[in-house]
Chain A
Amino acid sequence: MSRIAALLAAIGRPVLAALAALGRVSIFAGRALGHMLRPPFYLREIAGALLNVGYFSLPVVGLTAFFTGGALALQIYSGGARFNAEAVVPQIVAIGMVRELGPVLVGLMIAARVTSSIAAEIATMKVTEQIDALVTLSTHPMKYLTAPRVFAGLVMVPVLVGIGDVIGIMGGHVVGTRSLGFNPATYLHNTVNFIEARDIVSSLVKGAAFGFIATLMGCYYGMNTGRGAAGVGRATKGAVEAAAVLILAANFLLTSIFFSI
């Protein structure tokens, strides 16, 4: 009897802990959104966050998308050759980039680049009492630090995903026309004709969701850091892990919502 109880406890404890964490994150997300919608708005902070999340992520997003689009074209060509379907390269590259790889890769790149920097920055502010100082200077840390960053994630990551989709398709186009012998005009024509509005909408919605997750996790782990340099390290690691896993989970969920019919 006590064995069973111990077993149940062993299962129950992590489940309860996970539920509690989920609750805390949800409350944090709600507060972040609340601060995003209610004035005052710190325009300088918002502009800085938009630049950092959006503009400065362009190189890494562009390169990732380009190489992935190119590799995808090569793979589909050689894979398609097994059943004489080499001609579908433009269509599959387009659908693969727009529906899946574009949003997921951009999301993961943002998790690597933005989530980590947000978490480390806010955690350092926390351990050096800068967050306390903000409070004593009548400035709400959620409004001053979290709201601008989460807003930037929500707004800029869809833009980055859109750009990533286009560059990925271009990567496929370059490989397809330069080394696989596709006619450039036909390649583009096939791509454009094949893509549906639903593909694009799903891509951008995923971008917004992933941007929200990535920036929120950075802020959440940063604000809840432990003490000292080790605390900052753990917060950063935790934030990137959580963002990456949640992005992939959300991707599965959103894909099943958009394309299950």
Chain B
Amino acid sequence: MIELRDVHKAFGPKRVLRGIDLTIAQGTSMVVIGGSGTGKSVLLKCILGLITPDSGAITLDGQDVARVERDAFLARFGMLFQGGALFDSLPVWQNVAFRLLRGSLKRPRAEAREIAIEKLRRVGLTADVADLYPAELSGGMQKRVGLARAIAAEAEIIFFDEPTAGLDPIMSGVINDLIREIVTEIGATAMTITHDMTSVRAIADNVAMLHDGVIQWTGPVADLDDSGDPYLDQFIHGRAEGPIEAVR
């Protein structure tokens, strides 16, 4: 279980997170929505310790993430970065199998390669991309390679930062199903950021909406349509009129 209590983070004068309270139960899928630039990516990075919050507590299974043994902590996580963040000096399969080629999960190269190709297949990529370099792929393909890398080591907690951004509707459907599958079949905990309302409904057990540095609304995905929250309503229906200003 991941718990955030009153987490604050500012960049200079810009106060991005202003008291985040959020709980993600083990084995569930949490989807975070919210306007562009509201701090969703920053939130994920705070949990992973890539960004240090200014104040507040983040715990994983009751342990403060700032104090735990980093290697063991990170070994439990997989992360898809919003920009893919593929290593452009390595071919695709070595990106996917990065964790399997070194460190505690190290295994023979041939085996790691096989796993990488299997993971690539799961995100809808064929084996012939395995030996290409990331720069030779389209944006959506890079995103999917990043996704394959996030799930390659079968981590228990996986963060997806906009997994379907830039994908066609069919491929989005494939990715949504994949994330759902990882949660229901493997029992992983997932935290997904997305702007795509179809994805929200397909992936989420619970939804949290980030607005103005706080969690404006959170609840089960079934309550999404009759939350009675004007901010959430405006957001999910994509209306220009409402309490959220269009210019931020």
A residues with a Cβ closer than 8 A to B are 40, 42, 121, 125, 128-130, 132-139
Of the listed stretches B14-22, B81-89, B213-221, chain A binds B81-89
The 9 closest A-B pairs by CB, nearest first: A133-B85, A129-B85, A136-B79, A138-B74, A132-B50, A129-B81, A137-B98, A137-B99, A130-B85
**In the complex, chain B residues whose CB is within 8 Å of the CB of A125:** 87
Per the bound structure, the CA–CA distance linking A80 and B237 in Å amounts to 88
On whether the beta carbons of B77 and A139 are closer than 8 Å, the reply is no
- Given A138-B74, A138-B75, check contact A132 B99 (CB 8 Å): no
Contact with B98, one of A121, A128, A139 (Cβ below 8 angstroms): A139
A137 to chain B, nearest CB (A): 5
B145 to chain A, nearest CB (A): 12
**In the complex, chain A residues whose CB is within 8 Å of the CB of B71:** 138
Question: How many B residues face the partner with a CB closer than 8 A?
Answer: 23
On whether the beta carbons of A135 and B98 are closer than 8 Å, the reply is no
Asked whether B48 is an interface residue with its Cβ less than 8 Å from the other chain, the reply is yes
Per the bound structure, the CA–CA distance linking A127 and B103 in Å amounts to 25
Asked whether B45 is an interface residue with its Cβ less than 8 Å from the other chain, the reply is yes
Per the bound structure, the CA–CA distance linking A134 and B149 in Å amounts to 11
On whether the beta carbons of A136 and B86 are closer than 8 Å, the reply is no
Residues 87-113 of chain B, each 1 if its beta carbon lies under 8 Å from chain A, else 0? 111000000001100111000000000
Contact with B86, one of A121, A130, A138 (Cβ below 8 angstroms): A130
The B interface is mostly helix, strand or loop, or mixed, namely: mixed
B residues with a Cβ closer than 8 A to A are 45, 48, 50, 71, 74-75, 77-79, 81-83, 85-89, 98-99, 102-104, 149
Per the bound structure, the CA–CA distance linking A121 and B89 in Å amounts to 10
**In the complex, chain B residues whose CB is within 8 Å of the CB of A137:** 74, 98-99, 149
Per the bound structure, the CA–CA distance linking A134 and B89 in Å amounts to 13
- Given A132-B50, A133-B79, check contact A139 B87 (CB 8 Å): no
- A–B Cβ pairs within 8 angstroms, 13 of them: A121-B89, A125-B87, A128-B85, A128-B88, A130-B88, A132-B45, A133-B86, A134-B87, A135-B74, A136-B50, A136-B74, A137-B98, A138-B71
Given A134-B87, A135-B74, 15 extra CB contacts under 8 A: A121-B89, A128-B83, A130-B87, A132-B81, A132-B85, A133-B79, A133-B87, A135-B48, A135-B50, A136-B48, A136-B50, A136-B77, A136-B78, A137-B74, A138-B103
Per the bound structure, the CA–CA distance linking A137 and B75 in Å amounts to 7
**In the complex, chain A residues whose CB is within 8 Å of the CB of B149:** 137
Per the bound structure, the CA–CA distance linking A135 and B75 in Å amounts to 10
A129 to chain B, nearest CB (A): 4
On whether the beta carbons of A129 and B83 are closer than 8 Å, the reply is yes
